[in-house]
Structure 1
Amino acid sequence: MNCQDSEVKSVLKNIVDIYIRLSDQDRDKKNPSDESESIRNQRKMLVDYCKKRGWIINDICCDEDYSGADRNRPGWNQVLKDCEEHKCDIVLCKTQSRFSRDMEMVEKYIHGKFLEWGVRFVSVVDNADTSVKGNKLSRMFNGLMNEMYLDELSGNVKATLGIKRKNGEFVGSFAPYGYLVDPENKNHLVIDEAAAPVVRRIFDMYINGAGYIAIANALNAEHISPPCERKKQLGLKYYNANYEKAHSPIPKWSDAAIYTVLRRREYTGALVQGRETVTNYKTGARSKKPEEEWDIVENTHEPIISNETFLLANEIRMKRGRSQKIPTGECYSLARKVFCGECGNTMWKNSFEIRGSRHNYLACRTRKTVKGICPNVHQIQLEYLETYVTAKINELLADYRSGRIELYTDNSSEIKKISGAIELRENEIAQNDLKLAQIYEDKLNAIITTDEFNRYHKKYMMLNEKSEKELEILRCNLYSISKKGNESLRKDIISKYHSIEKLDFKTADIFVDKVFVYGRRDDGTRDIKIVWKI
């Protein structure tokens, strides 16, 4: 603490930040913009409490429609900021649970940081007061009870959803493309007469030999709205970050969307739910469940296609599977390792016969499936890329042998930094998952309206999507850095390989994690970035 902070702190006396949070009981709130009765009551109670004691109010911070376990509450974080900056020396709440239901946060701030900052915590109803000796046990008991409440709530939500799934009730946020949520029963699906014919056409075209791209191109040529656009046409609160960021203003069908439609068993009249589970509501740990543990209930709604059609299409799909092989039948050396440096999508292999000689090329998958979105429009010859990577591997080996690159690199600080960022993103996802469960429970209990539920659901899903993308990048970076610090692995590889004459799949897999190919410049040059495994 600097001298200026000390001076500010010494001047403060009974300067209060009032913190108010939404009560669970909010049935009187008619409009989302209205302030609930609970908030108004808390505000009046706490302001009166300050007036009777002659305390000066610095700020009244309010979080409406936020959980007590949420660590990203704007009002709550403003209170913490005011405390750290010594703008107040008392934090006043109705109850300790209004401040936080998370025992870890109670310990960190009420019993930790507040003492360092010279801040007194007071809650009116449950008589928590950090200035009173012997009051800590009561506060810890309150924190424990609040923690148990959250645990019970999480279990109740999970149990409720589990029962609904096993009973064949739809509990998803959005109906699969081709269906609508029944306006008379939110747990039942009805056919979307505008989209169902498109589903039937996709299955028919695929069974008759058309591939994913050909089907997508045919639908796009007729300006048929893809699933994301159909949701918006129906007035649903839906957000797709990929299309929002796309260069094309018109959402289009992609091969991935066709693939998803062909795999959805729901089109036979069966509900398939519970593909993954949150194993811990606090850490947000999620795990995918084996197919035998999915909740599959037959004949829950009207089918769009027959079961025979679905089985035939997927039998063809399994046999047809896209080949990553060259004409000799072997996997090409960089199979599943080459990505577009512009959009991040995979690059697909194509083969052309020119003057009696066959040549293999790689092209961006996005450019092939949805034209106009990715600027990386030029293919790259596979032979050229393999030659380039081979040369770079030999340069890397020479650098290790000459000592220009050290065998051992201490990456511990960088690993620690990235691990911390990963933990932060995982916590963000965990908190958002908990919020999603809580707003669903609030919707079931008529505490919030459908419009409010949709608004909050969109918000938390967008936050989760952003965090998950960042998490994927961080994990990739951590993997790459961890590999770079493996001295014994490097020694083994260098002793085995002096130089590489011809690149094959096995050798490439030892050295190369990913290859990013960027768009071609006007002068014909392009950047190629290799992410090494060693």
Structure 2
Amino acid sequence: MEKVAIYCRLSEEDRNKKFETDDSNSIQNQKAMLLEYSIEQGWEVYNIYSDDNYTGSDRNRPEFVRLLEDAKARKFDIILCKSQSRFTRELELVERYINGLFPIWGIRFVSLVDNADTANKGNKKSRQINGLVNEWYLEDMSENIRSVLTNRRKNGFHIGAFALYGYKKDPDQKGHLIIDEEAAAVVREVFTLFSQGYGKTAIARMLNDRGVPNPTEYKRLHGLRYQQPKRKNSTLWKYSAISDMLVNEIYIGNMVQGKYGSISYKTKQNKPRPKETWYCVEGTHEPIIERDLWDRVQAMVASRAKPFDVGSIGLFARKVRCANCGYTMRSSKNRGRHYLQCSNRHVAKDACIGSFISVEKLENMVIQELNALSRTYLDQDELERNVQFSQNLEQQKANWMESKARLQKQLEDNRTYLRTLYMDKVKGIVSEEDYISMADSFAADRERMEQQIKEADHRLDELEAQMQAGDQRKELIQRYTNVEHLTREMVEILIDYIIVGKRIPGTHEVPIEIHWNF
């Protein structure tokens, strides 16, 4: 018996669930329909994969990912869905899996509602059209949602998943914020302390010494929605939390949104947006901070801000992280020398080991490793191996170009033979029936050769990219061989990030780990 894997998906919030762990009615209906069909076909059900409350554009659906892993391992013969859109709404995934990898893995894809079946060679175009329509649907839906959200932002409605610390969502009015008095008291204290001359790090330490939970921990303790922290010491107040709070206009009753925007409707990644594109509406909710206190704090923040000049950015700014807590190390200056230190070392007792290194020492260590790397890479033996590698790529490129030329010649011959065959049919030399049969054969050969030519073009592009990447790597190292000093431009080009540990006791050695961009 052939083994079938059943896949079900529902993207909308299910109103009929009694418990969150229950399957939705729609999922249950999908399962019942697909199980019945499997029994009718005489298939053995290997497993049922079910994703509830996931969109068709989400590539990280847990059961979807497990289904693909099991398909690759050939644990079943058939994938059965209610419709192709239940599997995916992305044309790219339709081509990659349904029309590409599944046939290679020996997996048949079947969907009931839209009659998609990879065992039927004749409906490949209909599957592609379904994929294209689903892709358009995703894009249109994304634009519609974006339009609705933009309109709500412009009208001052809060649309975020989480309320800002000091506020909570109004249960009686959607999109409205009300004051959370317990958290608001801390916000007022932070503004007051800063206006009295306390620094941001000092304020963070005072709150930590008293055991005041930071915004994330406060929300967790009170059962409120919050973003899961990714780093250690997530319960502590940090310099950055105080700094962000002191300039957030939401605390004076203005709704400010749209600071970040999505890159594409196909990904959840966001990027910062220019300040002039933010949505700011005044007087949308009750303020926590009075206007006169706000104005005093803003004046003090502005007076303490260091003026930015071209070239004044630190050599390793935003590039160095603490080995213990993972936070970005901050710069400081003492007696004319510049240092980098962990931003957590002063916020609370035993918050971090306190990684510390002078910029001069770190620069020398980076230069030393860079020069050693360049000597290793530019070693004569290594260069000879690299030349052989490049020659191998050149040979592969020549082989593929020869193969492509041969296929193009065969394709042109195919067209010539077909024209000759047509003229023979017109002259009565070949019967209509024989013409149709041979024409179909020519068409199949032509489709196969066109596909092989596309594959050759793809492979040639890959080889060209590999050859260019190899050259760029060598040029990059050669450009910075035997350097004596680093510039910010060099750091940006060469270094992804650097991990700095604590000084080894009894020595002056500080362990570092450099993550290069090449």
Which one of 363, 366, 372 corresponds to residue 344 of structure 2?
A: 366
CA distance in 1, matches of 2:37, 2:315: 74
Q: Normalising by structure 2, what TM-score? A: 0.71
2:363 and 2:486 in contact (8 A); partners too: no
Cα displacement string for residues 49-86 of structure 1 (whole angstroms, at most 9, x for unaligned residues): 12223222222222222222222233333333343333
Q: Where in structure 2 are there 5+ consecutive unaligned residues?
A: 390-468
Cα displacement string for residues 213-265 of structure 1 (whole angstroms, at most 9, x for unaligned residues): 1212222233333212221232113244256x33xxx9222211111110111
1:25 and 1:38 in contact (8 A); partners too: no
Q: Which has the larger radius of gyration?
A: 2
CA distance in 2, matches of 1:297, 1:492: 50
1:23 and 1:39 in contact (8 A); partners too: no
> 1:180 corresponds to which letter in structure 2?
K
Query: Partner residue of 1:42?
Result: 30
Query: Partner residue of 1:416?
Result: none
2:166 and 2:179 in contact (8 A); partners too: yes
2:367 and 2:486 in contact (8 A); partners too: no
Distance 1:264 1:85, change over 3 A: same
Secondary structure at 2:345's aligned position in 1? Answer: helix
Query: Partner residue of 1:314?
Result: 298
Q: How does 1:204-215 map to 2 (within 5 A)?
A: 204-215=192-203
Identity of aligned pairs, percent? Answer: 38
1:350 and 1:363 in contact (8 A); partners too: no
Query: Partner residue of 2:264?
Result: 280
Query: Partner residue of 2:81?
Result: 93
Which one of 95, 117, 123 corresponds to residue 135 of structure 1?
A: 123
1:334 and 1:508 in contact (8 A); partners too: no
Distance 1:323 1:81, change over 3 A: same
CA distance in 2, matches of 1:510, 1:126: 51
Cα displacement string for residues 375-404 of structure 1 (whole angstroms, at most 9, x for unaligned residues): 236x55x4xx6367448747866996xx56
> 1:150 corresponds to which letter in structure 2?
L
Which one of 7, 18, 26 corresponds to residue 14 of structure 2?
A: 26
Cα displacement string for residues 159-209 of structure 1 (whole angstroms, at most 9, x for unaligned residues): 121111111101112211211111212311111111222222222221221
Which one of 104, 107, 111 corresponds to residue 99 of structure 2?
A: 111
Distance 1:121 1:331, change over 3 A: closer
> 2:15 corresponds to which letter in structure 1?
R
CA distance in 2, matches of 1:172, 1:290: 19
Distance 1:482 1:262, change over 3 A: farther
Q: After TM superposition, give the deviation of residue 286 of structure 1 in Å.
A: 4.0
Distance 1:303 1:23, change over 3 A: closer
Query: Partner residue of 2:162?
Result: 174
Q: How does 1:239-258 map to 2 (within 5 A)?
A: 239-242=227-230, 245-246=232-233, 251-258=235-242
CA distance in 2, matches of 1:291, 1:522: 47
Say whether 1:343 aligns with 2:325.
yes
What is the CA RMSD across the aligned residues, in angstroms?
A: 3.8
Q: Normalising by structure 1, what TM-score? A: 0.69
Query: Partner residue of 1:267?
Result: 251
Q: After TM superposition, give the deviation of residue 273 of structure 1 in Å.
A: 0.1
CA distance in 2, matches of 1:72, 1:399: 38
CA distance in 2, matches of 1:192, 1:346: 33
> 1:376 corresponds to which letter in structure 2?
G
Which one of 256, 263, 281 corresponds to residue 297 of structure 1?
A: 281
1:324 and 1:349 in contact (8 A); partners too: no
Cα displacement string for residues 297-316 of structure 1 (whole angstroms, at most 9, x for unaligned residues): 00000111233432331222
Q: Which of 1 and 2 has higher RCO (CA within 8 Å, sep 6+)?
A: 1
> 2:282 corresponds to which letter in structure 1?
E
Q: After TM superposition, give the deviation of residue 324 of structure 1 in Å.
A: 11
Q: After TM superposition, give the deviation of residue 269 of structure 1 in Å.
A: 0.6
Say whether 1:164 aligns with 2:157.
no
Q: How does 1:387-426 map to 2 (within 5 A)?
A: 389-390=363-364, 393=367, 406=378
> 1:342 corresponds to which letter in structure 2?
N
Distance 1:272 1:483, change over 3 A: farther
Q: After TM superposition, give the deviation of residue 350 of structure 1 in Å.
A: 5.3
Q: Where in structure 1 are there 5+ consecutive unaligned residues?
A: 1-12, 353-357, 414-480
Q: After TM superposition, give the deviation of residue 130 of structure 1 in Å.
A: 2.1
Which one of 98, 122, 135 corresponds to residue 147 of structure 1?
A: 135
CA distance in 1, matches of 2:95, 2:264: 20
Distance 1:129 1:242, change over 3 A: closer
1:338 and 1:516 in contact (8 A); partners too: yes
Distance 1:64 1:337, change over 3 A: closer
1:324 and 1:332 in contact (8 A); partners too: no
Say whether 1:386 aligns with 2:360.
yes
Distance 1:26 1:335, change over 3 A: closer
Deviates further, 281-290 or 186-195: 281-290
CA distance in 2, matches of 1:486, 1:307: 58
CA distance in 2, matches of 1:122, 1:44: 16
Say whether 1:230 aligns with 2:212.
no
Which one of 173, 186, 200 corresponds to residue 174 of structure 2?
A: 186
